[in-house]
Amino acid sequence: MKKIILTLAVTMVCAITAVAQDWQTDFTIAKDIASKEHKPIILVFQGSDWCGPCIKLDREIWSTDTFKKYANKNYVMLQADFPKRKKNALPEAQTKANANLAETYNKNGIFPFVVILNAKGEVLGETSYKKTTPENYIKELNVFTK
């Protein structure tokens, strides 16, 4: 009986891990992964605790199983979050790193803002929140990567 319960627990953990979104927060690491795995980087500028369209983009696209499964195989996901509430504050080093990314890739301070990059950090395309399906959003991102 213990073996059965253990097997079920391991299976559940593996199933959850298989669809977990692996967000990077370090640009250097994201570029290294993108280079090694020959994948584009999807850089997302968001205000996770104050930006309505950012929250919708997360709920309607990033958090869906469809997108997560596709992204894990095809993209390196990089998040630059700019929370406003003190309880959600990022470490100072991360706040500075995100600000540096914004100086380079989001000079107009648009939220949400999605930048598609190659492994060298060169811009391939840009988009934002759209009321659409995960499948159609993937098609839009892929226009920049093919």
Contacts of the segment 100-105: beta carbons below 8 A, 24+ positions apart: 101/27, 101/43, 101/45, 102/45, 105/43, 105/45
pLDDT band at residue 146 under the 50/70/90 scheme? confident
pLDDT band at residue 21 under the 50/70/90 scheme? confident
Determine the average pLDDT of the residues in 109-118. Answer: 98
The residue count of the chain comes to 146
pLDDT (0 to 100) of residue 16: 40
Q: How many CB atoms lie within 10 A of CB 109?
A: 9
Distance (Å, rounded) from C-alpha 123 to C-alpha 144?
A: 9
